[in-house]
Structure 1
Amino acid sequence: MDTTNFTSTSQLFSTYAHWTLWRFEVVYTFTAGISSSSLDFIINQSPNNGSCSIDPPNGMTTPLFDVTCSDWFDSDGIKDYSLFIWTSDPSKQTLIAYSSMSTFQVQLPSGDDPTYEVHLIVEIRDEHDCLTTYNLSSSISVQSDWSEMNDFIKSVQNVSNLEIIDSSFAQLLGSENQNVVGQVITLLSNEFNRISDENMTKAISNGVPSTSISVSHLGSSSSRQNSVALNVTALNAYKNEVNSYAQAREYLMRFIPNLPITTSKSIQLQASAIVQLTKTTNQLTRNILTIAIDRCYKLTMALSSLTREMTPEDTSAIATLLMQCASNVLTAVNGPLQERMMVLDADFVRATSFPQDYDADLELPWSNLSKMCIIHPHNLFYVL
């Protein structure tokens, strides 16, 4: 080849994965003679000879599942185990948990109706980020525990700050454990998003204009607008549902800033949870948006500082999540301004209520209208 550069694809090494010692040798031909040079290197082998299992094989969203990985070997040592989940599309995998321990517990989001099937994948990674992907099972069934979720939604209405309510979900959120908090937010957001889609479809079929209550995600199919007359009752019912879920999402979002940002998996887990939580953009209050954009900015800065230590695949996956986070926030901000979404009750109250330090006592000196200074565009005068 008449070139000074040579690029090899990864397929060459995967085709001959059992070969560990490699040599690239270059022979230079000159008019005066022939010269050569070579480069010897060792291909890092991924973890092998192990297996993973989950118990129980089926369950609900509230109980914990035990994930056990055993007998995995790598000469460089095992760095961590990461659990991913997907339902209908294997290209849309969500990080649920990561651990340096070979045995850990998780709470799983539910699968889609009617089978509730979810698929689980474990990535076993060595200290040099070489990984093995293990299919935990063909599928398992995880059903929603809606009684617990409904209790949680009712309990968080009008709750301020990080008050721990009487709910198992709230107790877990207060743990400040990244895996636990991320799992709770992901599974609850998954359920909220599913039921919100169903409620929106129902509202549109009952005569609520789709263009006034939501903005479709980029790449999603356009919704058909029915020619049914506006149903005020259906619209009010839909507004109540939206405001109820908005309060629940705001409560969940308040726990995210307390999570530490440590490794690339930490960034990915938090970014994934935020994307799920902000997916239904017409249920995001201004408080949610403020926390979300601030957190995504910090995650972006953390990603930038760790890029040299990460694999290109991890960097790309996290960058995609952060861009989706920004897209969700931008859509939610512009929706009410463009009259494509309703103004949420929480935002309306906060925007129109008096500050807590506002004193409306008419007996105070400042409230005496006889000495009020009146400013006019062209004059400044007092009323005596």
Structure 2
Amino acid sequence: FARPQYQSFEDRNNACFSLNPLNFLKYNDTFHTAVTILPRTLVLHQSYQFMVRMTHRDNSSLQSVGYAIIHIERIQSPIITISCVISTMCSLNLQYYYVNPSTQLALWSFASDNQTLITGIEWEIYYGFTDQTNNMMIWTPVEYSELFGTNTENLTIPKMFFQNTSNVTFWRFQAVYNFSSEILVGTFDIEINKPPSNGTCSIQPQNGTIMTLFTINCNHWYDRDGIKQMTIYNSKFAVLAITTSATTQLRLPIGLDQHLNIYVQDAFDCIAEFTLSSISVLPDPETPNGTFHRLFPFLANSTDRNVITQIITSLSELLNTMNDIINQQAALYDMLLMDISVTPLLTTNSSNPFEENVFNRSIIIELNEHASFREALLVFLNNQSTTTISDLQFQSSILSSLTTATNELTRKSSILASTKCQQLAEHLDRLSKQLPVESVRLTATHLAECSINTLTASHAPLLSRMKVLDLDMARTDEVLDQCRQTGKCDWMNSIPTPEEGNSYIQRELSNAIFEQAVNIMSLLTSSLTTHLNIDQAIEINSSSVYFSLENVLFSSTFKQQNGRNISGFQSESINLTEPIYIRKIMQPLAFSNQSSLTSNTQLSRMFSLSIINRNGSTANVFINGNDSFEFFIPRDPSMPVPSRGLQNALLVNRRKLLFNYHSVDLIKTDTNLTYSIHLEISPLNRNLSYVLIYKFNERPQVDEFDGMKILCYQDLNSNKNHTHFIDNTQTFDHQSVVYGIRELTVTQMDKFCSNQTYSSEDLLLFDTPVVFSDNYELLVYQAGCFYLDEDNNWQSNGLIVGPSTTFYETQCFTTVID
């Protein structure tokens, strides 16, 4: 009796099953695309090979065949299961998962029904090719070091891996679990989804104005899965259009030599990127304000998301360009830049598309008019719903652009934008497990920029860094008038002037936006952590904000900027073996509170460092021993650098003094804050050396001083200066410091500078009047490291200013990260 090689499931006399053939299986649906074999149907210790032949409904000559070999054993072992972290990134295609090479692939594994201790996990990688002789897939192991989580449950394969191996179509990822008594393996096979190809895109005309309708044609793009859509970005990665049509018309923001990027996307979201040739978009021949009034009515008459996005983006970029010109020309109007704007973290040399000065009136008038335009756009945007992923992308990029010029944001604009950003951040957090990391990162960048921009705009007037806008002052007057009429505003009793009333309202708003910013950063952190494996990091570095998030083991060391490592930590809320997230945020302007002007923080950036556990909660970390965490806080570069004072030391020779003395009063405006003091000496004759002594509160003497330093000519720094530094822990209970400077003779230079050894007793040698052979220049400044306590008050206890502090940035050390 000759049995067929394969027996059909439809065969009621099927000999492969031990039970009644009527009971051995069930179909999952009427098309028989899946079948379930019930328990105890297959025979123990037997092997079965299953073949599935799929036939095309409309063309029976098109068939696909798949095989599976099953061994029946009695085991109590757990099953190793592997899945995609972002399920939408892995589509099942017969026996393979269809994966896009244009994004990272994140896998997670687990052992089901596991009661046994896992002693180790290791991932193995194989590439596959088909053996044509027997039509079998051959798997070959490969080594690749740039993967994340190779010894954990999760494995992340960066997109660079697929880009470097673009000639390989099939991959196998195996999770090898080591238990105390056995080794088990889970397997995940993928097929690379090839991006769309063979196409091209063009734009006409090559040049135009902000009113021009440009036409983009994309032809001959092919993908076996079909083209889903095309997304058009500008050079700042703002979304301009999402379309399914090969031909698209759009308006573009002004700018010279722009490059548009087109992402051609297939049905499974695999992307081919195409960059259009350079184009230039000039302002309309009308005045910029006239252009605004011509374009704005289009918004009210359009429901097309692309049209709305292009008009708002074009108007926003027009305003941003004009604002850049305002800031550049501030000096022409006898204004300090630091009085009207906050300098971005990153400065760009953007080209000016205007042929001549576009302003024929006061800068302040221009700022106020632009502020009213931005507010109108934000009111319109705030009324737009957010229902799709495309809405989220469009609106986040628009908000980033609209809030860029922080000195043109009214209070109403700031709170509208901040509230909308918070809503979008909540939406992003909900969708983060459905989106690729690139989309999450781009949207998070725009929302972080929007949040910090509105925070800067709300704090800057309180720090005298921006002018109070006319709309805000007029609304303050309305509020004060209403309060006087109703008598219901108790806070008015302590506010005698309209300016103080405006400051009160501004501070209430800034506190509200600060709370929203904290929440937005928490939501963005949550969205990004989904895509971070161990030792993986995401960085946002823009003009508005620096944001970095890194996933590390708590037991590992922090990586310092200067390569120094910290090895000793302790925390009551984190285990040493637990992965944590390290988040760093730098924003352009420090927080404003009641003491900001007296604490001298109005020209400082603000740095935030957080340790976040797996639950998303911030943890306290204490650094042990002599270690400390180092960070630098820059100052706003628009801060004027004081000139070095020329010291006519030759006149001292006539006074018969032992030293030339310089007294410096220490800053004592706030008892909670301490400052370091930094002295720089620039000799006119670079071959001279000096001895420096100092004493707090009174003049030092050779036998009575608090510190000394020999300043040898060989030790001049790269700026040809001698430097001396006293940290803030030494100055906290003093009112002043008096320096004594004395030029060394040739003999004294040989004694002190040749062997670099000296003691305080050597000062007794300086018992004759000093003789200076040349003058020197002197610069003295003070610096502080402060943190915000729970009540948003600046404090300095526990922070130490470091010796690498310069006039442009402060080096800080701390032993507590809170």
Q: What is the Cα deviation at residue 131 of structure 1? A: 0.4
- Structure-2 residue corresponding to 1:136: 276
Aligned match of 1:96: 240
Higher RCO (CA < 8 A, seq sep 6+) = 1
Match for residue 371 of structure 1? none
- Residue 204 (structure 2) aligned to one of 55, 69, 91: 55
User: Does structure 1 residue 319 correspond to structure 2 residue 444?
Assistant: yes
Taking a change above 3 Å as real, the CA distance of residues 323 and 26 of structure 1, as seen in their structure-2 partners, is closer
Deviations 1:119-151 (A, max 9, x none): 1110011232210001122x1122111516322
Structure 1 window deviating more from structure 2 (339-348 vs 260-269): it is: 260-269
Structure 2 unaligned segments of length 5 or more: list them: 1-119, 125-146, 148-156, 349-358, 488-492, 494-818
SS at match of 2:362: helix
With over 3 angstroms needed to count, the CA separation of the structure-2 counterparts of 1:3 and 1:34, relative to structure 1, is closer
175 and 36 in structure 1: CA distance in 2 versus 1, 3 angstrom threshold: closer
Amino acid at match of 2:283: S
Q: CA deviation at 1:215?
A: 1.3
Counterpart position of 1:85: 234
- 2: distance between equivalents of 1:37 and 1:307? 26
> Aligned partners of 1:27 and 1:256: how far apart in 2?
51
Shift of 1:33: 12
Distance change in 2, residues 1:237/1:47 (3 Å): same
2:320 aligned residue? 193
Task: Report the Cα distance in structure 2 between the residues aligned to 1:94 and 1:298, rounded to whole angstroms.
Answer: 19
Asked if residue 5 in structure 1 is aligned to residue 145 in structure 2, the reply is no
CA–CA distance in 2 between the matches of 1:171 and 1:29? 65
Q: Which residue of 2 aligns with 1:150?
A: 289
Measure, in 2, the Cα distance between the counterparts of 1:148 and 1:207: 25
Counterpart residue number, 1:228: none
Equivalent of 1:44 in 187, 193, 205? 193
Mapped partners of 1:28, 1:202: distance in 2: 65
**Deviations 1:326-384 (Å, cap 9, x if unpaired)?**
11000000011112111110111111126998998xxxxx99xxxxxxxx9xxxxxxxx
Letter in 1 for 2:289: N
Aligned ranges 1:170-249 → 2 under 5 Å? 170-220=297-347, 237-249=362-374
Q: Where does residue 67 of structure 1 map in the other structure? A: 216
| One-letter identity of the residue aligned with 2:400 | V
Q: Assess, with a 3 A threshold, how the Cα gap between structure 1 residues 287 and 35 changes in structure 2: closer, same or farther.
A: closer
Deviation at 1:20, TM superposition (A): 2.1
Change (3 A) 1:350 1:70: same
Give the 3 Å change call, closer, same or farther, for CA 342–11 of structure 1 in structure 2. closer
In the aligned structure 2, how far is the partner of 1:22 from the partner of 1:352?
68
- Structure 1 residues 207 and 305: alpha-carbon distance in aligned structure 2, compared to 1, 3 A threshold: same
Alignment of 1:296 with 2:421, yes or no, is yes
**2:286 aligns to what SS in structure 1?**
helix
Relative to 1, partners in 2 of residues 1:24 and 1:278: Cα closer, same or farther, differing over 3 Å?
A: closer
Distance in 2 (alpha carbons) for counterparts of 1:59 and 1:205: 31
Q: Distance in 2 between matches of 1:9 and 1:283?
A: 41
Change (3 A) 1:267 1:28: closer
CA contact (8 A) 1:83 1:98 kept: yes
Moved more, 18-27 or 351-360: 351-360
Please report how far the alpha carbon of residue 299 of structure 1 lies from its aligned counterpart in structure 2 after TM superposition.
0.9
When you count helix as a share of all residues, which structure comes out higher?
Answer: 1
Distance of 2:182 and 2:449 partners within structure 1: 58
41 and 304 in structure 1: CA distance in 2 versus 1, 3 angstrom threshold: same
Q: CA deviation at 1:59?
A: 1.4
Q: 1:124 to 1:345 in 2, by over 3 A?
A: same
Q: Using the alignment, how far apart are the partners of 2:184 and 2:418 within structure 1? A: 58
TM-score by length of 1: 0.75
Q: Which moved more, 1:318-327 or 1:101-110?
A: 101-110
Q: 1:106 aligns with which of 213, 232, 250?
A: 250
Structure 1 residue 247: Cα displacement = 1.0
Residue 281 of structure 1 is matched in structure 2 by 406
Contact 2:121/2:176 (8 A) holds in 1: no
How far apart, CA to CA, are the structure 2 residues paired with 1:35 and 1:310?
A: 31
- After TM superposition, the score normalised by the length of structure 2 is 0.37
Quick check: which has more Rg, 1 or 2?
Answer: 2
CA–CA separation in structure 2 for the residues paired with 1:35 and 1:304: 35
RMSD: 3.3
- More deviation, 343-352/201-210: 201-210
Counterpart residue type for residue 297 of structure 2: A
Partner SS for 1:147: coil
Distance in 1, matches of 2:213 and 2:344, equals 32
User: Secondary structure at 1:334's aligned position in 2?
Assistant: helix
Paired amino acid for 1:96: L
In structure 2, the CA distance between the partners of 1:204 and 1:71, relative to structure 1 (3 Å rule), is: same
- What letter corresponds to residue 408 of structure 2 in structure 1? Q
Which residues in structure 2 correspond to 1:11-50 (within 5 Å)?
Answer: 11-24=160-173, 39-50=188-199
Any gaps of 5 or more consecutive residues in structure 1?
87-91, 156-166, 222-233, 361-365, 368-375, 377-384
Give the aligned residue type for 1:5.
W
- DSSP 3-state at the match of 2:428: helix
Number of residue pairs aligned between Structure 1 and Structure 2: 326
Equivalent pair of 2:258/2:280 in contact (CA under 8 Å): yes
Any idea what SS the aligned residue of 2:386 has?
A: coil
Q: Give secondary structure in 2 for the equivalent of 1:82.
A: strand
Letter in 2 for 1:184: I
Give 2:440's aligned amino acid: T
Q: Letter of the aligned partner of 2:473 in structure 1?
A: F
User: Any conservation in 1 of the 2:121–2:178 contact (CA below 8 Å)?
Assistant: no
Cα offset for 1:266?
2.3
- Report the CA distance shift for 1:174/1:252 in structure 2 as closer, same or farther (over 3 A): farther
**Once the 2 structures are TM-superposed, how far is the Cα of residue 313 of structure 1 from its aligned partner?**
0.6
**Which residue does the alignment assign to 2:453?**
328
In 1, the alpha carbon distance for the partners of 2:429 and 2:375 equals 28
Taking the TM superposition and a 5 Å limit, the aligned residue runs for 1:249-260 are 249-260=374-385
1:342 aligned counterpart, secondary structure: coil
- Structure 2: distance between partners of 1:4 and 1:359: 73
The one-letter amino acid of 2:263's match is E
User: Does residue 488 of structure 2 align to residue 339 of structure 1?
Assistant: no
Q: For residue 163 of structure 1, what is the aligned residue in structure 2?
A: none
Aligned partners of 2:253 and 2:317 also within 8 Å? yes
Structure 2 distance, partners of 1:24, 1:47, is 25
